[in-house]
Amino acid sequence: MAHLGGVAAVTSLVLYLLWRVMFSLPTAPADQAAAWALLVFETLPLPGMIMNTVAWWNLDSSAPPTEGAGLGLKVVVLIPTYNEPAEVLAPTIAAACALTPAHETWVLDDGDRGWAADLSRAYGARYVRRDEHRHAKAGNINHALGLMEREAAAGAEAVDVVAVLDCDHVPLPSFLSGTLGWFADPEIALVQGPQTFYNGGAFDDDGITGEQGLFFNVQMRARNAAGAGPFWCGSTALLRVEALREVGGVATETITEDMHTTLKLIRRGWRTVYHHQTLALGLAPATPGQYLLQRRRWGLGAMQILTLEKLWAAKRWMSWRNFHEYLNGTLWWLEGVATVGAFAVPALALASGAQTSTADPLVFAGIFTAAFTVRLWGAKRLMRRQIQWPTAFALRVFRIPVGLACLWWLVTRRSLEFEVTPRVLRAAGPGGSSQRSSWRSCSWSRGSSSGPAPDWRDWCRGARPRPRRRRRGPGCCCPSCCSSSVPRGSGPRSSPRRGATPTG
């Protein structure tokens, strides 16, 4: 059905454009300029539709090698944090410390909070802080990489792989055990998993997968192909330390360090893969302000990458597929400008008084509606039904300021600062359950490396933890998952974080 949908979407637009050219364009010289301008504008979606149909024709959900997965690798789970409250941070630390196989968990606190140090040690995690808080999250991770290098030089075991989790992303038991097998291939530098969010009632919640379900369930899976590969989306990812050191660590030149670092890895010949399995559960932006703040940061960071890496000329060191994906993925953030044009161009053509079509108005409306309906039907099937058109259209209009901000930055090139998206557990809204209540109903039954796990709820009340009796059976990591594993591609509403930058 996806193949049929892609062909139907492209065919409907082509047939509509042919009808416009052959049967509806005016012949009067005074009208032709406006008529052709409108026709060119109507043609703009066609190249993207064709490229997306080709790119999304087949989706890959390959599993990594499992025999001896992760054997001999020293792994450190990194949890960067800045100003998030204990009720957000504690579940992530607890679940990370309980992961298998054997590993270390480091909490990278850029907020210098004493309670975070106590909380980390209580669960068996290592607390790491730095004196100079430069380059935000990228600098925080680079400081940890430098610490690992110095300790290895002093005789400690060298770290092979780092797993990065945003502090609100609670890992499931399969986070390491299900992904380390990819590193049996010495050319792989990055394993990226989907970012799945549990907070129903989030701003982009459409009742199914959220706005970014398309990105993680279709676009990223489609990148598991020859000459392509996913980019690092900031969280729910594992990276080979050797590869990071080869490119100078995490990129600090832009505010979207994850995508920029991936480009540096690709330039050096490293490969990236996508692991399509729910590996962690996190918090999506809950308010309009949080949503716009996050999207604005992603968009402006994409503009920085576009200009700094000169992506329009990157074909000399990229495959054709990666060239299309990254150039299209960065330019996508100018969609707000295109949205304004979608309203302005027809309005200007109408206001000019020029005749843009010789067809009867009812005939024109019927043909346009039929073609547009088939196009939407086909595109939704090509996107594996991972989009809800009413929500998508509404959010596109809402994101207009993001696109205009990106255009303005291209003109001014002013300096940018990393802005952290607030992460707070909030009620889900009428009829929904409170995340706070859901987390408090979750029993942390698995012990950390230092003994039975304490009750994290005490930290949220400002008290020291009290040890809990270890129970038998698998631990529950969140209200949506009470089993030891989640089938590949399943789980609560999947949507990115990062970034995810949609390319459709």
Contact 504, 383 (CB under 8 A): yes
The secondary structure of 14-35, three-state, reads HHHHHHHHHHHCCCCHHHHHHH
The β-bridge partners of 454 are: 467
Cβ within 8 Å of residue 361, ≥6 positions away: none
**Could you say which of 109, 110, 168, 455 is catalytic?**
110
The β-bridge partners of 494 are: 196
Q: List the alpha helices (DSSP H) in 280-384.
A: 288-308, 320-331, 335-352, 361-382
**Could you say which of 168, 206, 258, 455 is catalytic?**
258
Residue 490: phi and psi, rounded to 5, are -110, 180
Distances (CA, A) of 492 to 213, 242, 277, 497: 11, 34, 11, 14
Element holding 79 (H helix, E strand): strand 75-81
Q: Where are the beta strands (DSSP E) in 110-236?
A: 126-128, 161-164, 170-171, 188-192, 196-197
The size of the chain, in residues, is 504
* Ramachandran region, residue 353 (left: φ > 0; alpha: ψ -120 to 50; beta: rest): left
CA–CA gap between residue 99 and residue 94 (Å, rounded): 9
Distances (CA, A) of 279 to 30, 176, 288, 474: 61, 9, 27, 16
- Return the sign of the alpha-carbon dihedral for residues 410, 412, 413, 418: negative
Which residues in 229-243 are b (16+ Cβ under 10 Å) and which e?
Answer: bbbbbbbbbbbbbeb
In 3D space, the residue among 416, 404, 111 whose CA is nearest the CA of residue 252 turns out to be 416
Give the β-pairing of 188-192 and 271-274: parallel
CA–CA gap between residue 398 and residue 65 (Å, rounded): 43
Q: Is residue 109 flagged as an active site residue?
A: no
- Angle between helix 288-308 and helix 257-267 axes, rounded to 10 deg: 30
CA–CA gap between residue 259 and residue 309 (Å, rounded): 12
Q: Is residue 166 flagged as an active site residue?
A: no
In 3D space, the residue among 164, 156, 188, 24 whose CA is nearest the CA of residue 92 turns out to be 164
Residue 72: phi and psi, rounded to 5, are 85, 0
Element holding 242 (H helix, E strand): helix 241-246
User: Which amino acids are annotated catalytic?
Assistant: 110, 258
